[in-house]
Amino acid sequence: MFLGRRNFKLWFVIAFALSLLVLGALVTFGFTAFIRTIIDHQVALRVGGQSFGWWSRPPVEPIIRIFVYNVTNADEFLNNGTKPILDELGPYVYVQTWEKVNIKENPNGTISYNQKRVYIFNEDLSGGLEDDVVIVPNIPMLSATSQSKHAARFLRLAMASIMDILKIKPFVEVSVGQLLWGYEDPLLKLAKDVVPKEQKLPYEEFGLMYGKNSTSKDTVTVWTGVDDITQYGIIDKYNGRSHQTHWLSEQCNRLNGTDGSIFPPRITKNSTLHVYEKDLCRLLPLSFEKEVTVRGGVKGYRFTPSPDVFASVDKNPNNMCYCPAGPPCAPHGLFNVSLCQYDSPILLSFPHFYMADQTLRTAVEGISPPEKDKHQLFIDVQPDMGTALRARARIQINLAVSQVVDIKQVANFPDIVFPILWFEEGIDSLPDEILDLMKVATNIPPRAKFILTIALFGLGGFLFVVAVICLVRKSHRQSTLHLEGSNYLATASVDQAKKKAKMDNGMSSKSN
């Protein structure tokens, strides 16, 4: 009975050891998936959840730095045909607060909102004041004259007379604050009175950031990721539309990117991230560049635009869909956004014509050669959670000016891409509490998996081997005892037989 109980204990140890080994296998092959499920559940936009709070009111203060190109020789440029000389002023720094308002949950797993942005000028961080006076191209006027280039001649002559009466000139002297946030323009004021209602512009003043210091009227609808985490943060509709209408193909008209602050989790180095920005009128694809480490030791991936994103059609034929009025199309390194900027000949590029044809930069004086560290657009992303850790959105605004000989005010204005300003917008880092949670979510699980795997396989293997050895030894001992017992009984039987034979022989002798 004692031996049977001991055997039972050994078999129990073996069963327990096998359970540990099976559990170790489950940890090896299923622990990562389990952790990902937990992360996906926490990341998805659930009303009342922590990630929803961070998404709706980001706990960061994005900063935008604006550099204005001041024209120092406007008269000489117009009268003598010399190169325009530009003086880069700034930065003019604004601290922002972002908030998503009018949030509405939809039954199909999406959520709609309007974006509210508030810009506050920070004099301490700036290299000048909003009152600084600059001389810049008259964008409303030059847009109008460029648009009239292919109109009837009498319309151009009439435009020249109107501009003469209103004393409108190709360059304006305004403050930086006016250039950004708006000033009264005589052409826009005239258009308000004479242009048919359906063709009126949605603003009465001109400013490159006019109307942005408020709640946007655009309604954005994004996927929450609750039902499908691979759609997390991706735009479903923009003002009720799932596609743009400006470009020549469905592929180029797509809107299914994110706002650049969040992306679907589990990003790899082979992933392509897509960011949609209204002012760009298209998705901006970003490709992996390198691994980075941000404050707090959190590791991330840096994604940047590829060199051919604004390439000319000759160098990237896929960009032909962004040239509905061409050829000719935009020069290499420029992107024409006139179709979504009320036909104003606005061309976007990276600052200092980074990754663009350098003849654009040398057509003016005063712009230094581009530098990757200063002028590259990038987003650093935590790959497991899809959260932007650090970002720099760097864009330059340029005006494509066309010479129109019938309008005397611009008769000497050559065909030129005129830089107006460039800006960088983004965040340097997330708050410590978010970074700490990211470190826990990304660093602890791999370590826990390693420790659990070693412990389970180690303990399970050790107990299994020990129990098997004990069973083998016990089995061998029982076999030996059985054999010795059998030999003893056989010997005793022989001795007893011999003794009996001897007694029988003795009795026989006495009888005789």
Same domain, 70 and 48: no
Q: In angstroms, rounded to a whole number, what is the distance separating the alpha carbons of residues 310 and 417?
A: 15
Q: Which amino acid is at 411?
A: A
Same domain, 65 and 51: no
Same domain, 183 and 80: yes
Q: In angstroms, rounded to a whole number, what is the distance separating the alpha carbons of residues 291 and 177?
A: 39
Tally of domains within the chain:
2
Same domain, 27 and 115: no
Instruction: Tell me if 10 is assigned to some domain.
Output: yes
Angle at 229 between CA 225 and CA 232, to 5 degrees: 50
Contacting residues for 201 by C-beta, under 8 A, at least 6 apart: 188, 191, 195, 342
Tokens 């048919």 sit at which residue? 196
Same domain, 75 and 50: no
Same domain, 48 and 169: no
DSSP character at residue 250: H
pLDDT at 347: 95
pLDDT at 193: 64
Q: How many Cα atoms within 13 Å fall on the side-chain side of residue 386?
A: 30
pLDDT at 1: 46
pLDDT at 508: 54
Query: Structural domain of residue 66, as residue ranges?
Result: 60-430
Same domain, 296 and 238: yes
Element (H, E) at 444: helix 432-511
Instruction: Tell me if 497 is assigned to some domain.
Output: no
Same domain, 350 and 415: yes
- The answer to whether the CB of 377 falls within 8 A of the CB of 304 is yes
Q: Are strands 378-382 and 387-401 parallel, antiparallel or unpaired?
A: antiparallel
Where among 367, 398, 430 does a domain terminate?
430
Instruction: Tell me if 35 is assigned to some domain.
Output: yes
Instruction: Tell me if 511 is assigned to some domain.
Output: no
Spatial CA neighbour of 146 closest among 406, 402, 409: 402
Radius of gyration, alpha carbons of the chain:
39
Rounded to 10 degrees, the C-alpha dihedral 418/421/422/423 comes to: -160
DSSP codes of every residue in 450-462 = HHHHHHHHHHHHH
Quick one: angle between helices 153-166 and 139-147, nearest 10?
160
pLDDT at 377: 97
Same domain, 148 and 289: yes
Where among 398, 430, 462 does a domain terminate?
430
Question: What's the full length of the chain, in residues?
Answer: 512
DSSP codes of every residue in 100-166 = EEEEEE-TTSEEEEEEEEEEEE-TTT-SS-TT-EEEEE-HHHHHHHHHGGGS-HHHHHHHHHHHHHH
Instruction: Tell me if 435 is assigned to some domain.
Output: no
Instruction: Tell me if 491 is assigned to some domain.
Output: no
Element (H, E) at 22: helix 2-43
Same domain, 52 and 147: no
pLDDT at 313: 93
Same domain, 75 and 114: yes
Instruction: Tell me if 501 is assigned to some domain.
Output: no
pLDDT at 475: 67
Q: In angstroms, rounded to a whole number, what is the distance separating the alpha carbons of residues 59 and 434?
A: 9
Same domain, 78 and 41: no
Tokens 């190109």 sit at which residue? 69
In order along its 512 residues, the chain shows pLDDT tens digits of 444 565 667 666 677 767 767 776 766 666 666 667 777 788 899 988 888 999 999 999 999 999 999 999 999 998 888 999 999 999 999 999 999 999 999 999 999 999 999 999 999 999 999 999 999 999 998 988 888 777 777 777 888 888 888 888 999 999 999 999 999 988 887 776 665 555 556 677 899 999 899 999 999 999 999 999 999 999 999 999 999 988 999 999 999 999 999 999 999 999 999 999 888 889 999 999 999 998 878 899 999 999 999 999 999 999 999 998 878 899 999 999 988 887 889 999 999 999 999 999 999 999 999 999 999 999 999 998 899 999 999 999 999 988 888 888 888 888 899 999 999 999 988 888 888 877 776 766 666 666 777 776 777 677 667 777 777 776 666 565 555 555 544 555 555 655 665 665 655 555 54
Tokens of 275: 């960011």
Instruction: Tell me if 487 is assigned to some domain.
Output: no
pLDDT at 431: 85
Tokens of 183: 């000033």
